[in-house]
Copies of this chain bind each other. A is one copy, B any other.
Amino acid sequence: MPVKNLNCDLQMCQEIGQTCAMFNLRKATRALTQVYEEIMKPSGILPNQFTLLVVIRAMGPVAITRMAEVLVMDRTTLTRNLKPLERDGLVTVKPSRHDKRSREVNLTKKGLKHLVQAVPLWREAQQKIRASLGGNRLDRMIADLTAVVGSAAMI
């Protein structure tokens, strides 16, 4: 029997689906994003936007490229993800004085206000996942995810 026919049979495809790191990561991300989005909906801030606000708050005035590095996000993706936040007046993006190429991302008062209001809802979502998964397991998984980011950067 030729090996070629075995290169991609049904059983193999089932196994690929069960073992593929990327597929399972994407799947879990879709599922979890829905949970946060549903719970955080009253804040008017989407989960991904929430993380941007948190990072800006944590890093203070920060350049696009530097912020993108921390987010492990393509620079151009970040530029576009900031657009809705700029439009809604939650953040400002203005040229740096020292380096005219660079642009500084800042949290506005309105942005901070919305962030403060969103945090309790984030806590609620986070707590529900934590209670459902178990604290140890969640902490372990986040450590593993951090390791994945480190590994991916080296490959």
Contact = CB atoms under 8 A, between A and B. Distances in A.
Number of copies of chain A assembled together: 2
Interface residues of A, number: 68
Contacts of A142: 18-19, 21, 24
A96 interface: no
A55 B58 CA distance: 41
Contact of A155 (B25, B27, B129): B129
B30 A72 contact: yes
In the A-B complex, the 4 residue pairs with the closest CB atoms:
A31-B152, A132-B151, A13-B58, A28-B145
A45 interface: no
A105 to B, nearest CB: 14
Interface in A42-63: 47-48, 51, 54-55, 57-58, 60
A12 B116 CA distance: 11
Contact of A31 (B8, B34, B116, B153): B153
A26 B48 contact: yes
30 contacts: A7-B119, A8-B112, A8-B119, A10-B58, A14-B58, A16-B119, A20-B122, A21-B130, A22-B35, A22-B125, A25-B145, A27-B71, A28-B145, A30-B74, A31-B153, A32-B148, A34-B152, A35-B155, A128-B155, A129-B152, A132-B154, A133-B144, A133-B147, A133-B151, A140-B144, A141-B141, A141-B144, A141-B145, A141-B148, A144-B144
